[in-house]
Amino acid sequence: MAEVKQADDGVQIDLISGERMEGMASMEKIRMILDGVHEGNIVILEEGLSPDEESKLIEVTMTEISPDEFNGIEIETYPKGDTADSGLFDRLMGKDPETKKLTVIGPANQIETLHKDETLISALVSRK
Amino acid sequence: MGLITDIRDSISRSIASLFSAEDPKRIGIYGPPNAGKTTLANRIARDWTGDAIGPESHIPHETRRARRKENVEIERDGKSVTIDVVDTPGVTTKVDYTEFLEHDMEKDDAVRRSREATEGVAEAMHWLREDVDGVLYVLDSTKDPFTQVNTMLVGIIESQDLPVLILANKTDLPESNIRRIENAFPQHETIPLSALEGDNMDEVYDKIADYFG
Ligand SMILES: Nc1nc2c(ncn2[C@@H]2O[C@H](COP(=O)(O)OP(=O)(O)OP(=O)(O)O)[C@@H](O)[C@H]2O)c(=O)[nH]1
Ligand SMILES: [Mg+2]
């Protein structure tokens, strides 16, 4: 992640490549995401998280919520499409389409989803 | 060879029956806040054991600790299935205590409610990864089911290969839209019901016996 300092009147956006995430352990990914979000950044993951990582992300987020400081996260991915053709074989080959979806995560009090469907996520981001 | 296989089969069968006798399947009731999970859990518990599981409320995050009702024996067509019913706190990715202030709550109480809610959701997520054998996923059928929490939770449940039934609750309300839920989760079976009125509970019990028996 480029260490761009957040300007007073701007919002930092971190676009994290699938390649960068590949070598990371689940908890490292979650830490990286939540550290960014705590600073008021919008974190965009090129390839998203696995269901297990999403579950841990929710769990860790809950433990970090603190009144008047941190309300939690807003997270958006595209809704899952037709999974009829993603069999066990694809999963074994690591080709699970559900885990390869662009994911946007931000502080709950700064990001609001305006519209979302299978192919489009539209969000409003406000300053801290 | 045949004898050994027979013995092995009979051993695994007796182990299986041992487990099914002493270890009823643990069925987690999951879903977003206010969907009617506790209302459903109470109805199931009252119908088959005579007492309730916990308080219901129109204020979200009423349930803040997973609660379990053990050995709920459901009878279907002369057979019976025994399950443990686990009512869980509504899952969310954010909790803002100031929203509780709108429900006439003092700040202290609102802050406490939000703290308990976050602990409860964390616990519910943990349970989902480790301690449940099947899921009843409850949705308020008057609400849009295409939310991130629903997408993620159903994805998590699927990734664990847990059997899941989608329950489209609150069908007694005029705005109820069952089709919208069926379309959101076409890969799963959706059952309409009103946990409050007790409508269509027979089908719910039939399917529970089918899926988790
Ligand atoms: N009309 C109608 N209202 C219902 C139904 N089921 C539940 N409710 C109402 O919805 C509200 C929430 O019900 P609960 O059972 O507390 O919901 P919950 O999912 O357990 O909520 P949390 O524990 O906060 O996550 C209450 O006011 C219930 O009376 C239903 O079938 N029809
Ligand atoms: Mg409840």
B1 lies in a domain? no
Torsion sign, CA atoms B102, B103, B109, B115: negative
Domain-embedded: residue B14: no
Q: Nearest to residue A105, comparing CAs of A5, A28, A52, A29?
A: A29
- The yes-or-no verdict on residue B213 having pLDDT over 70 is yes
pLDDT digits (tens, 9 = 90+) for B103-133: 989 999 999 999 999 999 999 999 999 989 9
Residue A41 CB-density burial (10 A; 0-12 exposed, 13-18 middle, 19+ buried): buried
Looking at the 3D structure of chain B, how many domains does it have? 1
Of B175, B63, B177, B163, residue with least CA distance to B121: B63
CATH number, position B109: 3.40.50.300
pTM over 0.80: yes
Q: Is B88 on the interface with A (CB under 8 A)?
A: no
Ligand nearest to the CA of B113: 1
Domain that holds residue B83: 23-212
Residue B7 counted as domain residue: no
Structure tokens at A98: 């559900």
pLDDT in tens, A55-110: 999 999 999 999 999 999 999 987 665 444 455 555 555 445 455 788 999 999 99
Whether B44 and B64 have beta carbons less than 8 Å apart is answered as no
Q: Is B54 inside any structural domain?
A: yes
Please tell me the distance from the alpha carbon of residue A70 to that of residue A81, in angstroms, as a whole number.
32
**Cβ separation of A55 and B128 shorter than 8 Å?**
yes
The shortest C-alpha distance from B136 to chain A (Å) reads 17
A55, A65, A73: residue with CB nearest B129: A55
Q: Would you state the structure tokens that stand for residue A3, as one six-digit string?
A: 């260490």
Residue B207 lies in a domain: yes
Chain B residue with CA closest to A97: the answer is: B155
Kindly give the distance from the C-alpha atom of residue B52 to the centroid of ligand 2, in angstroms, as a whole number. 12
Domains of chain A and CATH, by start: 13-125 (3.30.950)
Answer yes or no: is B3 within a domain. no
In angstroms, the CA B126 to CA A55 distance is 8
pLDDT tens per residue across span B136-166:
999 999 999 989 999 999 999 999 999 999 9
Pairing outcome for strands A111-116 and A103-107: unpaired
Q: Is B8 within a domain?
A: no
